[in-house]
Amino acid sequence: MTVKTAYPSPPAEAGAASNKGGRSRRSITLQRVAMAGATAFLSINLWTGSPLLALWLGSQVAEEQALSFKPLLVVVLSLAAFTLAISVALGWLESRYRLLVGLPLREGRLTWLRAFNAQREPVRHVPMSALERIVTVFVYIAVTALLIWFLFFAGSPLPSDYVTP
């Protein structure tokens, strides 16, 4: 029984062990390190850089100290654009990395979005790549930092002179 996938598996000679196209082991290692560094940079900026840049853009558009619709719209739209751009870049890096090291590409359709009558089809399990692990680690770090800040450092949103009834 064969498994139909949205993307064909890369040929065996596309892996890191080959020397096709004159690429040496060293250049492949440098490419892998560069891709890992770019993934770490984009993952950090997904959580910190793009929100700060969006807030800065909104502050440049604001004409007064009071909240108005124009700066708010700039912040929301620019944050959405930055998040989309970084997500697309991370996806592109992931697919290029998988081709570089010879890992199979992911199926284009999520398992839980498959048709109900396709449940009998075997699911192709694809191993997690190093770039996916980097993004996962940064998500855990960001969520943990948010929880620590919220629980221990944020303080109460209520006024200090608030008395419980």
Q: What tens digit of pLDDT does each residue of 94-135 get?
A: 989 988 888 877 666 666 666 666 566 666 677 788 888 999
What are the CA-CA distances from residue 48 to residues 34, 40, 71 (Å)?
Answer: 21, 12, 19
Q: Please name the residues in contact with 55: beta carbons below 8 A apart, sequence gap of 6 or more.
A: 75
Predicted pLDDT of residue 63? 86
Residues 22, 7: Cα–Cα separation, whole Å? 26
By the 8 A CB rule, do 53 and 78 touch? yes
By percentage, how much of the chain surpasses pLDDT 70? 72
Q: Taking residues 41-63, report their average pLDDT.
A: 93
Q: What is the pLDDT of residues 67-100, one digit of tens each?
A: 889 999 999 999 999 999 999 999 999 989 988 8
Comparison of pLDDT for 159 and 80, the residue scoring more: 80
27 three-class SS: helix
